[in-house]
Amino acid sequence: MSPNVGTIDRTLRAALGAVLLYLAFLSGLSLFATPLFQYGAAAIGLVMLATSAFKFCPLYSVLGLKTCKEC
């Protein structure tokens, strides 16, 4: 598992993950009152935070992409 996610990509992923988790559990929006959207947003948010933390995206690996310049 070599890193394939760069700094800007990691920052955006972390921000998006945090926003999705906020929307899922704390926003109070009626859209996220349904379990499908609530848990879907939470799952995607957790995946975004995990790929940001580990600097590795399995989808990038499959597609042969790298946003990491120093890798």
Provide the whole-model pTM. 0.89
Convert the pLDDT of each residue in 1-38 to its tens digit. 899 999 999 999 999 999 999 999 999 999 999 999 99
Tell me, yes or no, whether 24 lies in a domain.
yes
Looking at residue 34, what is its pLDDT?
95
Q: What is the model's pLDDT at position 1?
A: 82
Please check whether residue 2 lies inside any domain of the structure.
no
| Domain that residue 17 falls in | 7-63
pLDDT digits (tens, 9 = 90+) for 50-70: 999 999 999 999 999 999 988
Query: Quick one: tokens of 35?
Result: 């379990």
Q: Report yes or no on 70 lying in a domain.
A: no
Residues 8-44 as b or e (16 or more Cβ within 10 Å = b):
ebbeebeeebeebbebbeeeeeeebeeeeebeebbee
**In the chain, how many domains are there?**
1
